[in-house]
Amino acid sequence: MIEIAGITKAYGGQTVLKDINLTVPTGGLMALLGPSGCGKTTLLRIISGLETADNGMVKFQGEDAAGQSAKNRNVGFVFQHYALFRHMTVFENVAFGLRVRPRKLRPSKKDISKRVHSLLDLVQLDNLHDRYPSQLSGGQRQRVALARALAVEPKVLLLDEPFGALDARVRQELRRWLRRLHDEIRLTSVFVTHDQEEALEVADQVAVMNEGRIEQVGSPEDVYEHPNSPFVYNFLGDVNLFHGSLLNGTVAMGDYELAAPEHIGADADAVGYVRLHDFDVSLCPSGLPEIGAVVSRSRALGATVRLELKRRDTGEPFEAEMSLERFRELGIKPGVTVHVRPRKLKVFVQD
Amino acid sequence: MSPAEPALIRYILTGVALLFLGLFLLIPLAAVFVQAFEKGVAVYFKAVTEPDALAAIRLTLLVAAISVPLNLLFGVVASWAIAKFDFPGKSLLLTLIDIPFAVSPVIAGLMFVLLFGARGGVFGPWLTAHGIKIIFAAPGIVIATLFVTFPFIARELVPLMQAMGSEEEEAAVVLGANGLQTFFLVTLPNIKWGLLYGVTLCTARAMGEFGAVSVVSGHIRGETDTVPLHVETLYNEYNFTAAFAVASILAAVSVAALAAKKIMQLKVER
C-alpha cells in the first residue's frame, strides 16, 4: 500500500503540487491522469525518491519513506524514454539491479542468470537477451525496461507515461499486455498518463489531476460516469458546453429548460455538460424538452457518425454522435432540422 | 544550368582546399622529417639521445604526466556539474573554462610570473622565505601547462554529457546503485570515447605548448627546457639538423594524436 499525505512541491516559487493526498491499495493499479504540466510526473518522482517534496509524506506499507533515498526505496521505475543502459545487452540491463547489490545480498551468478531469463520470459523477450537496446523496437525496449524494474523485486512499480513514445497500434497491444501482467503479478503500481482512454482501460483506480491538485479519484466507471467537476468532464471524453442560468431549481439554456433540483437556492450562471454520445436524435419533436438544431456537417468515424449541429434558438454550434445505423435510418443530410434530447446533462454552477 | 557546372565547381573547391592543405600542412610536415634525417640516421639518433635532449624529453613527459590527469579530474568534475545539475553561476563557469582559449599563452605565462616570481611576485617573498621555487623551475612549467590545457577535456565532455541527459543515471540509482557504481558502470562507458578524445588533445597540447612555458621556464638548458623550448635553443644555435631531429619527435606525437583522434571520433559518432 502506498499512502501519500499532504505532499507539496514548488520549483523556484512556482507551486507544482498542492497538498496531495492519495492512497494506492496493495495490489492496485492506479493511473495518475492529467494534462501536461499538471504535476503528475513530479508526484511519481516524489514517490520514487528521485525528487523530494517540500512538505508531506510518502509511506510504503505503513512505513515512512522520508529517510530513504531513491537507491534504498526498492521501487521499480519505468522511464518514459526507457532509459536503458545503451552499452549493455538486454541481459545485462535486466541483471544490473542485482549485480550492483552489496556482496552479502547479491545472488550468485547462476541465480542472477536464472532470474533474468525468467523475467525475459515473462516479457516475452528471452530470445533477444544478447541484443543491445539500439537493436530493439520501441515496444521491445519498453518491455526490457519493465523487466529491469521488476528484477529487483520492488515493493511498488512506478511507470512514467509508459506508452507515450510508442505508435498507436503497439500502444494498444502493450497496455492490454500490461493489464494482464498486473493481474498475474499483482504488484502495487502507479502509472502516469495524459491519455484518458489509456487510464480508463488499464487502471483499477484513476486519479485525475489538474494544476497540481487531485480533482477526483475513483474507479474508471466512476470518474467517467460521475465527474465531480467541469475539469474532469472536459478532460474525460468529448463534451459539449451549454451556457445558461439557474433560477429556482431550473436551468435555462436558450429555449431548453431542465429541472435541476440539486441547485435550488443557487441562482447563478451555470454550464451544462453533455457528452457527444449522450444525445437522442430524431427528426420529429417528441414533446419532451429538446434542442432544435440544423445539421451543418456529418463525419463518419467508423461505426459512429459525428454530427456538427447549430442550435436554432441561440445559433451556438455543438456536436453529437450517433450510430451509423441510426444515421442511415433517419437519412440525415446537411441542412436538415433535427430534434436533439440530452439523455444525461450535468449542471455546474459557474464561479 | 548544365549539370557539368556544379561538378566543375566542386572540383575547383576541392582542389583549392587540397592545395592549401598540401602547401601549408603536408609539405612543412614532410620538410621537418627530411631536414631531420638530412645528415643520416646516425646523426639523427645522436641529436635525440644527447643528454640535454633526453632531459627535455623527460621534463616534457613529466609535465604531461602531471597536468593531463589533473585536467582529466577537473574536466570530468566540471562537466558532470554542468550537465547534471542546475546551480547559480553555471553559465559563468562555462565561460571561465574558455578563458585559456581566449588568452594569449604568453600573457598566461606572464600572469604566473607576476604571481609566483621570486622578485616582485605577489607570493614571491613568501615562497622565497620557504625555499620554494616555482618560476624558472618545473612547478612553474606544470602550472602554466595546466592553465593552457584545461579547457580541452571539459569542452569535449560538457556537450556530450548534456546530450546524454541523466535518465540512465537515475535508472541506475533507482535500481540500487551507489554513486561510484553509477559513475563507473553507467556514466563512464557512455562518455569513454569522448573522454579519450579530450585526453588525446590535452596530451598533445601539454607536450607541444611553447608560449606560456617559455615565459615561466627561464630556458635553463638540461634543466627547465621542455622539448619545444629545446628545439628553439638548438635552432638559435644554428644547429638545424639537431633542431629538426628533436622537432620530429613532437611532429610524430602530433600525427599520432591526430590519427588517434580520428579513430575515436568515428567511435563517438557510431
pLDDT in tens, A205-258: 999 999 999 999 999 999 999 999 999 998 988 899 999 999 888 888 988 988
| Closest in B167, B181, B185 to A83, CB measured | B167
Is residue B246 helix, strand or coil?
A: helix
Give the pLDDT score at A207: 96
Mean pLDDT of the B118-136 span: 80
B269 near A CB under 8 A: no
The label of the residue with cell 644554428 reads: B238
Question: Which strands, in side-by-side order, build the sheet including A75-78?
Answer: A75-78, A156-160, A188-193, A29-33, A205-210, A213-218
Question: Complex ipTM, two decimals?
Answer: 0.83
On whether any CB of chain A is under 8 Å from the CB of B16, the answer is no
Position B4 scores a pLDDT of: 59
Instruction: Please give the DSSP secondary-structure letter assigned to residue B219.
Output: -
CB atoms under 10 Å from CB of B41, counted, come to: 9
Residue by residue, DSSP assigns A175-192 as HHHHHHHHHHH--EEEEE
pLDDT of residue B2: 52
A5: cell is 499525505
Contacts of A73 in chain B (CB under 8 A): 174
- pLDDT, position A100: 95
B175 beta partners: none
Asked if B171 and A79 come within 8 Å (Cβ–Cβ), the reply is yes
pLDDT digits (tens, 9 = 90+) for B148-165: 998 999 998 999 998 888
Cα separation, A216 vs A34, whole angstroms = 11
The span from the CA of A275 to the CA of A144, in Å, is 39
Q: Find the closest chain A residue to B190 by CA distance.
A: A87
pLDDT at residue B132, rounded to an integer: 81
Q: Are strands A63-64 and A75-78 parallel, antiparallel or unpaired?
A: unpaired
Q: Which residues of A192-201 are buried (b: 16+ CB within 10 A; e: fewer)?
A: bbbbbebbbe
Nearest to A214 by CA among A42, A27, A26: A42
Output phi, psi for B105, to 5 deg: -55, -35
Chain A CB within 8 Å of residue B14 CB: no
Q: How far apart are CA B65 and CA B207, in angstroms?
A: 10
Suggest the residue from B175, B188, B190 to mutate for an interface test with chain A (most A CBs closer than 10 A): B175
Report yes or no: A189 and A157 within 8 Å, Cβ to Cβ: yes
Q: What is the pLDDT of residue A47?
A: 95
- Split at pLDDT 50, 70, 90, the class of B3 is low
Report pLDDT digits (tens) over A252-308: 898 898 888 888 888 889 999 999 999 999 999 888 889 999 999 999 988 999 999
Instruction: Please write the tens of the pLDDT for every residue from B245-270.
Output: 899 988 898 888 888 888 877 876 66
Contact at 8 Å (CB) between A253 and A313?
no
The minimum CA-CA distance between A100 and chain B, rounded to whole Å, is 6
What residues are paired with A25 via a beta bridge? none
Cβ of residue A155 closer than 8 Å to a chain B Cβ: no
pLDDT of residue A308: 94
pLDDT, position B94: 87
- Residue A85 in contact with partner chain B when CB distance is under 8 A: yes
Q: CB-hemisphere CA count at 13 Å for A297?
A: 5
How many Å lie between the alpha carbon of B165 and the closest alpha carbon of chain A? 10
Assess B2–A contact: CB distance below 8 Å, yes or no.
Answer: no
For B69-108, how does the pLDDT look when each residue is reduced to its tens digit (9 = 90+)? 999 999 999 998 888 888 888 888 888 888 998 889 999 8
A167-212: per-residue pLDDT in tens? 888 888 888 888 998 999 899 999 999 999 899 999 999 999 999 9
Q: Do A96 and B172 touch (CB under 8 A)?
A: yes
**DSSP letter, residue A107:** P
End-to-end CA distance of chain A: 37
* Mean per-residue pLDDT over chain B, rounded: 88
pLDDT tens-place string over residues B25-45: 889 889 888 888 888 888 888
Strands (E) in chain A, as ranges, are 2-11, 14-24, 29-33, 55-60, 63-64, 75-78, 156-160, 188-193, 205-210, 213-218, 239-247, 250-253, 256-259, 269-275, 279-282, 291-301, 304-311, 317-323, 337-342, 346-349
For domain B39-269, say whether CATH 1.10.630.10 is its number: no
Q: A78 with A158: CB under 8 angstroms?
A: yes
**Which residues on A lie below 8 Å from B185 (Cβ)?**
85, 96, 100
> In chain B, where are the structural domains located?
1-36, 39-269
- B177–A86 CB contact, under 8 Å: no
Q: Write out pLDDT tens, residues B224-250.
A: 889 999 999 999 998 888 889 899 988
Look at residue B133 in the predicted model and tell me its pLDDT.
Answer: 83
Of A77, A86, A149, Cβ closest to residue B190: A86
Dihedral over Cα of A210, A216, A221, A222: its sign? negative
Contacts of B176 in chain A (CB under 8 A): 71-72, 74, 97, 100-101, 152
List beta partners, residue A348.
A271
Chain A residues touching residue B171 (CB < 8 angstroms): 77, 79, 83-85, 148
Instruction: With CA atoms as reference, report the closest residue to B176 among A52, A316, A103, A70.
Output: A70
What three-state secondary structure class fits A195? Answer: coil
pTM of the model: 0.80
Q: What is the pLDDT of residue A168?
A: 83
Inter-helix orientation angle B138-149/B51-84, to 10°: 40
**Which residues from chain A sit within 8 angstroms of residue B175, using beta carbons?**
96-97, 100, 148-149, 151-152
Q: What is the pLDDT of residue A255?
A: 87
DSSP-derived 3-state class of residue A19: strand
> Which of residues 159 through 198 in chain B touch A, CB cutoff 8 A?
167-168, 170-178, 181, 185-186, 189-190
Q: Which residues of A touch B189 (CB under 8 A)?
A: 85, 87
E strand or H helix that includes residue B23? none
pLDDT tens per residue, range A90-131: 999 999 999 999 999 999 999 999 999 999 998 889 999 999
On whether the CB atoms of residues A294 and A234 are closer than 8 A, the answer is no
A230 Cβ under 8 Å from any chain B Cβ: no
pLDDT of B265:
75
pLDDT for residue B269: 66
